[in-house]
Amino acid sequence: MANFVKILGTDGENEAIVNSDNALKVFGDITVTPGTASGDPADTVLGALKLSGSDDLIVNGSTTPQVFTFDGDPSASVDMAVEEIRFLMVTKHIDPGGAYFGPLPALANGLLLEIVSNGVTTQVANFKVTEDFMRIARRHSAPINRSGVNDTLTAVYEFRDAILKGGVSDLIRLTVRDDLTPKLLHFSCSVIAIKVTP
């Protein structure tokens, strides 16, 4: 059976399904109003999810969950259209199977990825094993690279106009709820967004 993600509409009826080929199928009426982009490259925002100024996800969240965020613009006149969220993991060995999270045993609680858009919180994913990253990887990409001294996992989640409203508390949030400190050499989550006029 193919893996898929189902997203219910606000009425509980309309829905979108992202299947194992990362193809989006929409059932019912879904309206997206992303605003207007200027086309100016200066409006491209390259950022990272951070906790106290650090983008290093190699933390111990098993006792106290560690919350990393990327915040919307503080100005009410600027929204952000999220283009993609990119995870990068580097370690000596990445096991692609369903029993490991990179080099670690499968996580008990997982990394919870959420988006707060226009005040509404949506759970995007909960990563417990390496395979969870591979499910969201861009089509036709090779998320695990073994060509160097270390293994590298790059997983890109493409959003296509998820909006962080400006001047409110909209954000992208990643909550680390397990101990990621053993064995990982690098682990981060970056964001590409475009400033748009509401």
At 59-108, the pLDDT tens digits run: 999 999 999 999 999 988 899 999 999 999 999 999 887 899 999 999 99
The pTM is what? 0.78
Average pLDDT over residues 117-133: 92
- Which of 10-14, 141-145, 177-181 is predicted most confidently? 177-181
Tokens of 75: 């100005």
Average pLDDT over residues 119-126: 92
107 or 6, which is more confident? 107
In the chain, which segments carry CATH 2.60.120? 34-197
Is 80 within 8 Å of 196 (Cβ atoms)? Answer: yes
Q: Tell me whether strands 171-176 and 15-18 are parallel, antiparallel or unpaired.
A: unpaired
CATH number of the domain at 34-197, please?
Answer: 2.60.120
